[in-house]
């Protein structure tokens, strides 16, 4: 699995922790920036990550801003993206099982590092359920 990861200045610190985690776990990933804590627009990073997920250049994306809200809104503007804003382990699992989310959004100012790493682990390891009712609902989203 190849993962795209990106943040704005509000998510930069958490992104760095997640990058180290992905590297330690042996995941293949590409860091789309932001590369420091200077102010930037979340929209620019979210759009590039979402486009690469949508186009199949990467399998999944992880986006972090201050709250995760802006990143998730921007990513969901891209056709084929199912970005989920997650701040707990249960929704990390459910968004994969039921919604087959392909982009994870989190808030660097909302959750701590340990919880965020646990969310990432759950989200990356949880498969889509393939249940007919869930696929039917995803198909409706795509239309």
Residue 142, pLDDT above cutoff 90: no
Q: What is the pLDDT of residue 135?
A: 92
Distance of CA 61 to the CA centre of its chain: 4
Q: What is the pLDDT of residue 111?
A: 96
Known catalytic residue at 98:
yes
Q: Which structural domain, as residue segments, surrounds residue 84? A: 2-142
Residue 143, pLDDT above cutoff 90: no
Q: How many CA atoms lie within 13 A of 127 on its CB side?
A: 3
Rounded-to-integer distance, Cα 100 and Cα 84, Å:
10
Of 9, 87, 98, 118, the catalytic one is 98
Write b or e for each residue in 9-31: b if 16 or more Cβ atoms lie within 10 A of its Cβ, otherwise e: bbbbebbbbbbebbeeeebebeb
| Cα separations in angstroms, 2 against 20, 65, 72, 114 | 15, 21, 20, 22
Provide the domain count of the chain. 1
The confidence band for 133, taking pLDDT boundaries of 50, 70 and 90, is very high
Q: Which residue, chain included where needed, has tokens 């759950």?
A: 122
The whole-model pTM stands at: 0.96
Q: What is the pLDDT of residues 81-118, one digit of tens each?
A: 999 999 999 999 999 999 999 999 999 999 999 999 99
Known catalytic residue at 134:
no
Q: What is the pLDDT of residue 92?
A: 98
What CATH number is attached to the domain comprising 95? 3.40.1400.10
Residue 141, pLDDT above cutoff 90: no
Q: What is the pLDDT of residues 5-57, one digit of tens each?
A: 999 999 999 999 999 999 999 999 999 999 999 999 999 999 999 999 999 99
| Cα separations in angstroms, 141 against 42, 66, 82, 129, 137 | 24, 27, 9, 17, 6
Phi, psi of 106 (to 5 degrees): -140, 160
């Amino acid at each position: 699995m190849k993962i795209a990861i990106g943040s704005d200045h509000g998510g930069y610190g958490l992104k760095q922790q997640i990058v180290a985690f992905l590297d330690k776990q042996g995941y293949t990933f590409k860091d789309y920036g932001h590369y420091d804590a200077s102010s930037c627009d979340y929209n620019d990073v979210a759009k590039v990550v979402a486009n690469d997920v949508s186009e199949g250049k990467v399998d999944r994306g992880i986006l972090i801003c201050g709250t995760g809200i802006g990143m998730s809104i921007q990513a969901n503007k891209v056709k084929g993206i199912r970005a989920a804003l997650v701040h707990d382990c249960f929704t990390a699992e459910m968004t994969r099982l039921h919604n087959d989310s392909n982009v994870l959004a989190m808030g660097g100012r909302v959750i701590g590092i340990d919880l965020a790493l646990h969310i990432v682990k759950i989200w990356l390891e949880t498969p889509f359920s393939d249940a007919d009712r869930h696929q039917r609902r995803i198909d409706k989203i795509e239309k």
